[in-house]
Amino acid sequence: MFDLISFLTQIPVRRKETKIEAVAVRSYLFPLVALLIGLPVAVVAFVSFGFLGAAPEIAALLTLLSIYLVTGLMHLDGLADFFDGIMASGDRSEKRRAMKDEKIGIAGLFATVFVILLSFFAIETVCAGLTKTAPAHSFELRSFYHFASVFVIAEVSAKISMNTCMISRESKEGAGRGMGALFIHSFSKSGYLVTLISAILISLIFSAFSLRFFIVFTGIAVALFVSHIAKNNFGGAGVSGDVMGASNELARCATLLVWAIIIV
């Protein structure tokens, strides 16, 4: 778990060096790390909207900032590279070359800004709606639970999205090289079953055992769509580390948007 936390978050766990191989082998535990990400973000949202209820834009900005302070910007980089690749002109080899380019293109920049803005407005809408039904300034445990539900399930959805990308390949042959290939080769169907069970259990707990736990499956839908786009644009080795990172960011954003629709 220390390696997983060190890899997926900026939380200091006193590890000299993260063992990527160990992370890849135990990537089926991603939903548990998502729980550690979602809870502190929920605390920031709960306190921010409690004290800054009259300025929900600032509270939403602080909440969004807390997400990337906890998780880092690694997956945002994957999101930018992914869109640079699919928007590049030319054949698949040229698209792969554009995705692997260290420089961020206009397509990647636009996609990153757009996803961040969507997440910002979704957070503002969801949390403002929660403060109306259960005022955060009361600082009651029940009020915090509603905030935790949103951000924990959104983060679990993001992580299960990456796991779905790992298992979505029809064959592990030709997965290429690099970090993405390492995760694909290390992941198994039994591991994915553990991922699904843990994600469902966490979502049930944080949805008060209501049908809202189905929101977590947004991440799976996003992953299948992203994987399909990647295969069409990049060929057999389409599902890479950048694709997984992009799926993580898109799944979190999409899940927050679903929450916003339900709350409103």
> Measured between alpha carbons, how far is 56 from 23 in angstroms, rounded to an integer?
37
Helices 218-234 and 241-263 cross at an angle (nearest 10°) of: 140
Average pLDDT for 172-193: 76
Q: Number of helices and strands (H, E) in the chain?
A: 12, 0
Checking if the pLDDT of 120 tops 90, the result is: yes
**pLDDT tens column, 194-217:** 999 999 999 999 998 888 999 999
Joined together, the tokens standing for residue 31 give: 């939903």
Q: What is the DSSP letter of 188?
A: -
Residue 174 — very low, low, confident or very high, per pLDDT cuts 50/70/90? very low
Position 143 scores a pLDDT of: 84
End-to-end CA distance of the chain: 37
> Measured between alpha carbons, how far is 179 from 202 in angstroms, rounded to an integer?
27
Checking if the pLDDT of 28 tops 80, the result is: yes
Cα 137 versus chain centre, distance: 28
Percent of the chain at pLDDT exceeding 70:
90
Residue 60 to residues 34, 64, 171, 181: CA-CA distances in angstroms? Answer: 20, 6, 42, 36
pTM for the full predicted model: 0.90
Residue 16 — very low, low, confident or very high, per pLDDT cuts 50/70/90? low
Q: What angle do CA 210, 26, 1 make, to 5 degrees?
A: 80
* Amino acid type, 240: S
What is the sign of the dihedral through the CA atoms of 247, 249, 252 and 256?
negative
Position 193 scores a pLDDT of: 95
* Residue 129 vs residue 121, higher pLDDT: 121
Average pLDDT for 236-240: 69
Number of structural domains found in the chain:
1
- Expressed as residue numbers, the domain containing 115 is 2-263
Joined together, the tokens standing for residue 193 give: 């079953």
Checking if the pLDDT of 136 tops 90, the result is: no
* Mean of per-residue pLDDT scores for the chain: 87
Checking if the pLDDT of 54 tops 90, the result is: no
Q: Residue 247, Cβ neighbours under 10 Å: how many?
A: 33
Joined together, the tokens standing for residue 24 give: 């890849």
**Span of 12-21, 126-135, 224-233 with lowest mean pLDDT:** 12-21
* Amino acid type, 208: A
The DSSP string of 195-210 is HHHHHHHHHHHTTTTS
